[in-house]
Amino acid sequence: MNKVENRDLLRMLFTLFYSVFFIFLLLGVTSHGSSYGNHGSQKLSTFSFFSRFLRKSISHIDNGNLESSSPGRISTINHAAAVSGIGVNWGSQSSHHMPPETIVRMLRENGIQKVKLFDADYDTLRALGKSGIEVMVGIPNDMLATFASSSKAADKWVDKNVSHHLTTNNVNIRYVAVGNEPFLTTYNGTFLRTTYPALRNIQQALIKAGHSNQVKVTVPQNADVYLSSTSLPSGGDFRADIHDFVGQIVKLLSDNNAPFMINVYPFLSLYTDPSFPVDYAFFDGNATPLNDGGMNYYNMFDANHDTLVWALQKNGFGNLPIIVGEIGWPTDGDRNANVEYAQRFNQGFMAHISGGKGTPMRPGPINAYLFSLMDEDDKSIDPGNFERHWGICRYDGQPKYRLNLGTTNVGSLIPARGIIYLEQKWCIMKPNAKLDGSDVVPSVSYACARADCTCLGYQTSCGNLDSQGNISYAFNSYYQKNNQLDDACKFSGLGTTTRADPSTESCKFNIMIKAYYGNAGRLPSYVLRTLTLVASVSIFLLTNL
Q: Is 326 a catalytic site residue? A: yes
Q: How far apart are CA 522 and CA 84, in angstroms?
A: 38
The dihedral formed by the CA atoms of 52, 329, 143 and 152, expressed in degrees to the nearest 10 = -120
Closest CA to 83 of 12, 13, 11, 175: 175
Contacts of 537 (CB under 8 A, 6+ apart): none
Closest CA to 180 of 146, 214, 150, 137: 137
Active-site residue identified among 101, 109, 134, 181:
181
In degrees, rounded to 5, the angle at the alpha carbon of residue 135 between the alpha carbons of residues 192 and 318 is 55
C-beta separation of 476 from 452 below 8 A:
no
Instruction: Report strand pairing: 260-263 vs 322-327.
Output: parallel
Buried b / exposed e along 117-156 (16+ C-beta atoms within 10 A): bbbbbbbbbbbbbebebbbbbbbbbebbbbbbeebebbbe
For 443-446, the CB contacts below 8 A with 24+ separation are 443/471, 443/474, 443/475, 443/491, 443/492, 443/494, 443/495, 444/470, 444/471, 444/474, 444/475, 446/478, 446/491
For 287-291, the CB contacts below 8 A with 24+ separation are 287/61, 288/61, 288/63, 290/58, 290/61, 290/62, 290/232, 291/64, 291/65, 291/66
SS3 417: coil
368 beta partners: 86, 324
Active-site residue identified among 101, 109, 134, 326:
326
C-beta separation of 195 from 144 below 8 A:
yes
Q: How far apart are CA 41 and CA 33, in angstroms?
A: 12
What length does the chain have? 545
Amino acid present at 249: I
Q: How far apart are CA 195 and CA 143, in angstroms?
A: 10
In degrees, rounded to 5, the angle at the alpha carbon of residue 234 between the alpha carbons of residues 232 and 237 is 100
Q: Is 67 a catalytic site residue? A: no
Q: What is the DSSP string of 47-73?
A: TTTHHHHH--TT-S---S----SPPPP
The strand ranges marked E within 5-144 are 85-90, 114-117, 134-139
Catalytic residues: 181, 326
